[in-house]
Amino acid sequence: MPLTIAEIAELCGGTAAGDPARSVRAAASLETASSTDIAFVTGKKALAVAASSQAGCLLVDSSFTLAGPWALVRVENPRASFARVLAALYPPKRKFAGIHPTAVVASSAAVADDCCIGPHTTVGENTVIAAACTVGPSCCIGDNVTLGPGSVLHANVTIYDGVTIGARAVLHSGVVIGADGFGFALVNGRYEKFPQVGTVSIGDDVEVGANSCIDRAALGVTRIGNGTKLDNLVHVGHNCVFGEHVVVAAQAGFSGGITVGDFAVIGGQAGIGEKAIIEAKAIVGGKAGILPSVKVHAGEPVWGIPARPLRKHLKGLAHVAKLPELREQVQQLGQQISRIEADVKKKS
């Protein structure tokens, strides 16, 4: 839906410069934007590109001084404001309210009247699906599940029995919540399953990327705090406890019993050993390996396998890069020693 410059300024809490009645219909990058598009400017590289941009409107901060054909909306954080504008320009498709004829909903389940339950979805006994939820096709929701208001389940999501999910959660396709944790005991030369009888509790405003899995606790609760965002292909093991607003990039894996503090950032393909503690606001770099029971402190990112503070990791890489040169120097020293020894033998 089109937005005027005045509407954009109001939406973003910014100040408009230019024709307030001018409208934009779409969003684009600075390089490709046309006169009916909006783009944003942040950083030196973007500033250089903005000079030749054909965008109809630019979201900029107070330091922007270039003149051009665009209307401007000055905001504190152009990128964050751009996200708000995107949501307004591209509102989600409205789904029908009701239960698709091919869906199977248990008679004891409570589904709010304004929910959308897609085709071939099943909803188990005593499950509660609150107002304004959207459940896509072929989802499987077990017994005694609670799904908070405004939550969205995309196609093929599986939620096992007894799981609780808060308000406005977004679970992308292929997500599995509440599968058994990886618990086995070696008895008389064979593995016997340790029953996983706990549950999973997910807070408000959590988003879980496609094909990610969050295991139920062996005992107690696997907990994901409010506002946490998990990328695609993330695995969270049994009895993990995530704080609020944690961000985890794709393919990261968490063993059992890990604690992750508020606002921690975990890079892609990081591997976290069991019972490790990631403190609030700590940063774990991509492909880092955190050993079991290790505590990662805030203050400096950790990187490498095993993970260590970034400065030490970079210093170690620099030393490794010098190994060929050092090897050559050692060979030369060895040759010099051999010549000296040969001279000594001749003189003796």
Residue 238 annotated as catalytic? yes
**66 HSE (CA, 13 A, CB side):** 21
Could you give the CA distance from residue 166 to residue 146 in angstroms, rounded to a whole number? 8
252 alpha carbon, distance to own chain's centre: 10
Distance of CA 297 to the CA centre of its chain: 20
**Contacts of 82 by beta carbon, 8 Å cutoff, 6+ apart:** 27, 38, 39, 40, 59
Catalytic residue among 154, 238, 245, 313: 238
> 20 with 4: CB under 8 angstroms?
yes
On whether the CB atoms of residues 24 and 37 are closer than 8 A, the answer is yes
Q: Which CA distances in Å does 51 have to 18, 30, 231?
A: 17, 9, 34
109: tokens are 């389940």
Cis amide linkage into residue 306, ω under 30° from 0: yes
C-alpha 292/C-alpha 257 separation (Å) is 10
The dihedral built from the CA positions of residue 171, 163, 290 and 226, taken in this order, carries a sign that is positive
Residues 6+ apart with CB under 8 A from 111: 99, 105, 117, 123, 129
What distance in Å separates the CA atoms of residue 308 and residue 258, rounded to the nearest whole number?
A: 18
User: Burial letters for 278-298: b for 16+ Cβ neighbours within 10 Å, e otherwise?
Assistant: bbeebbbbebbbbeeebebee
Of 174, 144, 181, the C-alpha closest to 158 is 174
Enzyme catalytic residues: 238
